[in-house]
A and B are shown apart, each in its own frame.
Chain A
Amino acid sequence: MSSVTTKTREPEASFSATSLAKLRHKPWYKSDAFRRLVMCVLLGVLFTIMTGEQAGDDVFYSLNDSLTNWPWLGTWVAVAVGIWALITFHSYLLGNPALSPVHKVIKDATAEVKKVTPVLGRREVKWPLIIALVVVLALLPTWVSGFWNQVMVNEIAVYVLLAIGLNVVVGWAGLLDLGFIAFFAIGAYSAAYWTGKLPVSPPVELTPFLVIPVAVLTCLVAGVLLGAPTLRLRGDYLAIVTLGFHEIIYLLATNADEFTNGPAGVQGVPHPTLDLGFWSYEWTTTDLEQYWWMIMVIAGILIFLFLRLEHSKVGRAWTAIREDEVAAAANGVNTVKYKLMAFAIGASTSGIAGVVMASKVQFVSPASFELMFSVLVLAYVIFGGMGSIWGVMLGTAFLAWLPQILKDYVDEQDRHMYLGAILVIMMIFRPQGLIPSRRRKRELNLAKEGLGDADAMTEPVGGRVS
């Protein structure tokens, strides 16, 4: 766009521009365009490495292979340079972007979407849509193959449950919880313990459904015990303490053989049963739909409860704390209490997911609770748009489904690498996520102008001098 205006400028103007440039003494290698070119070429090389071979026994194998694979390297670098050229010379290459047909199509499309969104929010449109969606989701397992049924229950549904819980902590309260999977583990081990499958036997044996309230309680207590002291401190300490807590739980699960049976894990956690006296039902390994429906019901209940919370005084208090902790406290909001509430609610949701997972796969072992899973759920929540339940669910479903689709093309071990990259890229270009919540988007915009915090990372006010 700027180049268009330069072309039409008067000669004097361009003369003064060049003399200004001379005055600034900016050599060519310091120009933005050149720096961008270097960046793009480096990115091209990076992509070559990222998509290259897995390492062999020799440390240099993968590196050598990637960097001598000329066609592949050349393609990536060419793409990178092409993108650079597009960014730098787009006005020469495409003409004025405001006039290009592509731009017009995008503009029209966004205008259409903007027209549709308020209609979707209307009560008489919204509810039928939600009901239709639920019906489609409920029928989904009867349409897809056995493999996808597995994926839906094991990968997607459990993670959606976890993401709904983490969203309360990260999205609504603005706290960073890196030990979320620790509570998942507590839930799963509770299930194993109370059904009598651990080396230590419980006072009474319960069925998995009855374990859920017990696990919720356990996780609530654990969450409060962990959160109460740390939430009084600066918010980013919580991240590291939860990380530490996760590792303690993980190491306990791995090493305390006499209680947890160590790395081998425990088997035979029973399937849930429902006995209402006049009607009873038992879940089995074979009918996966039943699990899908069970998780749908649990998720539905949680969403209903959490949305109520979000649109009540609790949700407003969370927003207030995120935006300006000092002002919130000065108006009587007990900031520590509300943070703790969010933290404990998230923890207990994770616990529920743990019980469900344990009784579904009938097997609990430390390998399911590695730190990576905490980061995974976090990535899902952020990708979807923290703060918006629908965004979070969609983001989780999408990111959990993607690796299964790409399974034949991308090595599964590379998954974490791409996840890390997604986190960074999202934070740089779209911190609000796929489907952002309205409040959060506004907050991020305000923060950009230097107003408000948009998270709960500052220290709770009061009580310290100097």
Chain B
Amino acid sequence: MNLNEFWDYLIPGISLGALYAVIAIGYTLVYGVLQLINFAHSEVFMVGAFAALLVFTKIEPSNPSGLMSVGLVALGFAVSGLAGAGTAFALEKVAYKPLRVRNAPRLAFLISAIGASFFLTHIAGKLFGRDPKPIPDLFVNKKVFEIFGARVSVLQLIMVGAAIVMMIGLDLLVNRTKMGMGIRAVAQDAETAGLMGVDINKVISRTFVIGGLLGGCAGFLFGLNSQVTYTMGFFPGITAFAAAVLGGIGNIRGAMIGGMVLGIVESFSAWQFGDEWRYVSAFAVLILVLMFRPTGILGERLGRTA
């Protein structure tokens, strides 16, 4: 094992892990309030990336730098976050709420979510083309500093920084605000929360919106890191779900840790076994975790315990 290469792969692993953590939070939040895997969350992520792609293709920034770049990145976050939140909101209204009203079995929710995911993927493919497209450069992605000879780029800093900001913000939101209290109450016992005057529908809707916001932003970052295509949501989605389970589904801090771990594992397996095997590692980790510690690293918290 070459130590230099170790750092070369660790750093992209961490920045990727930060993204997975942000997406994983979306899964964990929805799981917390509904006890359901939101299969369509990966498409929220994809829509966020497309929103940024569309806006920047329209704007066509030419050699941006300095303050201009900061503005563009902020715009990217705003646009993709809004698009993600909007998609998640619509998703809940169309694919989940009608089933919730009728007390449908969980199987029906899963199928409906898979249907929605399929629909969104392929309508995006039809609408925006099926070839991967890069988001135009928003800044000069130069080396900022080196750690043990491994370069750390602007983009990687943005990814990690944005993820940290979002995670801290979310943690505060869930643990310190009234809205967060509502989410936690519904997560613990929706029925009782309803009797105590919490508007369950509103809480669920807001939870989707928060998850969608984070997912959309993650989509933007992912699009900057590689390219934007209609199927881009699938692998990060599955990996992020694995991360959520790894950390303990329903547990927000667990999702963060799980995401980090999986990002690093993926980067290292790409290094050790070749790039085509990078996703196999995530699935293998998922299956192993479920076999040996189904409640995840930190255990299930936000969700019902029994």
Do A and B touch, yes or no (CB under 8 Å, in the complex)?
Answer: yes
Quote the shortest CB–CB distance from A387 to chain B (angstroms): 11
CB within 8 Å for A239 and B37 given contacts A55-B128, A55-B130, A248-B283: yes
Quote the shortest CB–CB distance from B10 to chain A (angstroms): 24
- Determine whether the beta carbon of A453 is less than 8 Å from that of B276: no
Specify which chain B residues have a CB less than 8 angstroms from the CB of A378 in the assembled complex: 111, 114
Interface assignment of A98: CB less than 8 Å from any CB of chain B: no
Instruction: Give Cα A170–Cα B108 distance, bound, in whole angstroms.
Output: 11
Interface assignment of B62: CB less than 8 Å from any CB of chain A: no
- Determine whether the beta carbon of A424 is less than 8 Å from that of B126: no
Quote the shortest CB–CB distance from B105 to chain A (angstroms): 4
Specify which chain B residues have a CB less than 8 angstroms from the CB of A55 in the assembled complex: 125-130
- Determine whether the beta carbon of B117 is less than 8 Å from that of A420: yes
A interface residues with partner B (beta carbon < 8 Å):
49-50, 52, 54-57, 59-63, 66, 170, 174, 176, 178, 226, 229-230, 232-237, 239-241, 243-245, 247-248, 251-252, 254-255, 371, 375, 378-379, 382, 411, 413-414, 416-417, 419-428, 431, 443-444, 447-450, 453-455, 457-458, 466
14 chain-A/chain-B pairs, Cβ below 8 angstroms: A54-B126, A56-B129, A176-B111, A237-B290, A237-B294, A245-B287, A378-B114, A413-B126, A416-B122, A417-B123, A420-B116, A420-B121, A428-B112, A457-B110
- Determine whether the beta carbon of B126 is less than 8 Å from that of A241: no
Instruction: Give Cα A185–Cα B36 distance, bound, in whole angstroms.
Output: 29
B interface residues with partner A (beta carbon < 8 Å):
36-37, 39, 53-54, 57-58, 94-95, 98-99, 102-112, 114-123, 125-130, 133, 234, 238, 241-242, 245, 276-277, 279-280, 282-284, 286-287, 290-291, 294, 305-306
CB within 8 Å for A229 and B114 given contacts A60-B57, A455-B105: no
Specify which chain B residues have a CB less than 8 angstroms from the CB of A424 in the assembled complex: 94-95, 112, 115-116, 119
Specify which chain B residues have a CB less than 8 angstroms from the CB of A243 in the assembled complex: 238
Out of A236, A248, A254, A423, name the residue touching B115 (CB < 8 Å): A423
Quote the shortest CB–CB distance from B127 to chain A (angstroms): 5
Specify which chain A residues have a CB less than 8 angstroms from the CB of B108 in the assembled complex: 427, 431, 455
Instruction: Give Cα A178–Cα B118 distance, bound, in whole angstroms.
Output: 13
Out of B106, B127, B282, name the residue touching A457 (CB < 8 Å): B106
- Determine whether the beta carbon of A59 is less than 8 Å from that of B133: yes
Dominant secondary structure at the B interface: helix
With A240-B241, A382-B111 given, can you name 6 additional A-B contacts, CB distance below 8 Å?
A60-B57, A63-B127, A233-B290, A236-B37, A416-B122, A420-B120
Specify which chain A residues have a CB less than 8 angstroms from the CB of B53 in the assembled complex: 59
- Determine whether the beta carbon of A450 is less than 8 Å from that of B114: no
Specify which chain B residues have a CB less than 8 angstroms from the CB of A371 in the assembled complex: 234
- Determine whether the beta carbon of A244 is less than 8 Å from that of B119: no
Instruction: Give Cα A237–Cα B296 distance, bound, in whole angstroms.
Output: 13
Out of A62, A176, A421, name the residue touching B107 (CB < 8 Å): A176
Specify which chain A residues have a CB less than 8 angstroms from the CB of B129 in the assembled complex: 55-57, 59, 61-62
Specify which chain A residues have a CB less than 8 angstroms from the CB of B117 in the assembled complex: 420
Instruction: Give Cα A236–Cα B57 distance, bound, in whole angstroms.
Output: 39
Quote the shortest CB–CB distance from B274 to chain A (angstroms): 8
Specify which chain B residues have a CB less than 8 angstroms from the CB of A428 in the assembled complex: 98-99, 112
Specify which chain B residues have a CB less than 8 angstroms from the CB of A52 in the assembled complex: 126-127
Out of A174, A240, A379, name the residue touching B286 (CB < 8 Å): A240
Quote the shortest CB–CB distance from A449 to chain B (angstroms): 8
Quote the shortest CB–CB distance from B33 to chain A (angstroms): 15
**In the complex, residue of chain B having the shortest beta-carbon distance to the beta carbon of A43:** B94
Instruction: Give Cα A422–Cα B104 distance, bound, in whole angstroms.
Output: 17
- Determine whether the beta carbon of A251 is less than 8 Å from that of B280: yes
Instruction: Give Cα A239–Cα B121 distance, bound, in whole angstroms.
Output: 19
With most chain B CB atoms within 10 A of its CB, the pick from A243, A419, A427 is A427
- Determine whether the beta carbon of A427 is less than 8 Å from that of B126: no
Out of A49, A62, A427, A454, name the residue touching B111 (CB < 8 Å): A427
Instruction: Give Cα A239–Cα B98 distance, bound, in whole angstroms.
Output: 22
Specify which chain B residues have a CB less than 8 angstroms from the CB of A237 in the assembled complex: 245, 290, 294
With most chain B CB atoms within 10 A of its CB, the pick from A226, A245, A428, A444 is A428
- Determine whether the beta carbon of B106 is less than 8 Å from that of A251: no
Specify which chain A residues have a CB less than 8 angstroms from the CB of B103 in the assembled complex: 447-450
Instruction: Give Cα A236–Cα B249 distance, bound, in whole angstroms.
Output: 12
CB within 8 Å for A244 and B287 given contacts A55-B130, A457-B107: yes
The 10 tightest CB contacts between A and B, nearest first, are: A423-B115, A420-B118, A420-B119, A244-B283, A455-B107, A55-B129, A454-B105, A417-B122, A457-B106, A427-B112
Instruction: Give Cα A466–Cα B104 distance, bound, in whole angstroms.
Output: 27
- Determine whether the beta carbon of A457 is less than 8 Å from that of B105: yes
- Determine whether the beta carbon of B238 is less than 8 Å from that of A244: yes
- Determine whether the beta carbon of A244 is less than 8 Å from that of B286: yes
